[in-house]
Amino acid sequence: MRRVTSDETDVDADGTVTYQGAPFTGESVSRAADGRLEESVAYLDGVEHGPWLEWYPDGTPRAQGECDRHLGVIGLWREWHPSGRISLEEVWTHVGHLTTSREWNHRGALVRDSFATEPASGVLRVRVETLEEAPEGMLSAGVPFTGEAFTTDASGLVVALDCYTDGILEGARFTWYPNGLIRSEERVRGGVRVGTWRRWHADGRPAAVDVFDDAGALLRSERWEWDDGVQA
């Protein structure tokens, strides 16, 4: 992948990032005067596509997420306070639907919790208890359900979301801890585990990654344990 500095790129009238007059594909990085990396953004044909990373001057992560050139942000988007505490966490489905958007103050207290019950895309999003489980799958008013079903805890916090097509799990699945942080991210296609499945500890640090091929075969598995902030 070609890597250039942000000073070497331009933005045309349509908002496309270019390099030497052509839409840029590769990684654009920004550095401080001392050479320290401040930002890294991946592009495809001049549009953000792939990892987006930012750091504070001391190297602490500032922002991290992934973009799709057609959908915008997908999956997990996170931002941190300079102390290293999470300040913002947004979870987007694999087709670009925003689920939760939550903010924490510098003390770690949840100060904003937003959940879009009616996504801008018009996708049907309902409480899971409004659906009926049947041998042929999940039904809504007797019809196989297509849309997104969410679950809340006793306090009203959304703690799970599943995507369905014709009553069958299809697409993204997310769960959250009671403190609002994401617990797991999974993807199912045709009833088969596919892609990258991730799990996190309750403090936001990674716990596990499993990668599956399109047939559901496990390709790679990683686990992390932490002891007083140090990876074991």
pLDDT at 229: 57
pLDDT at 1: 83
pTM score, whole prediction: 0.84
Burial of 220 (0-12, 13-18, 19+ CB in 10 A): exposed
Tell me how far apart the alpha carbons of residues 204 and 194 are, in angstroms, rounded to a whole number. Answer: 23
Tell me how far apart the alpha carbons of residues 172 and 164 are, in angstroms, rounded to a whole number. Answer: 9
10-residue averages of pLDDT along the chain (232 residues): 94 94 96 92 97 95 96 94 96 88 95 82 88 94 94 95 94 94 94 94 94 96 79 54
**Parallel, antiparallel or unpaired: strands 3-5 and 26-31:** parallel
Terminal-residue alpha carbon distance, the chain: 32
The secondary structure of residue 162, as a DSSP letter, is E
Tell me how far apart the alpha carbons of residues 215 and 193 are, in angstroms, rounded to a whole number. Answer: 8
Query: Cβ distance 178 to 159 under 8 Å?
Result: yes
Q: Cα 194 to chain center, whole Å?
A: 16
pLDDT at 57: 92
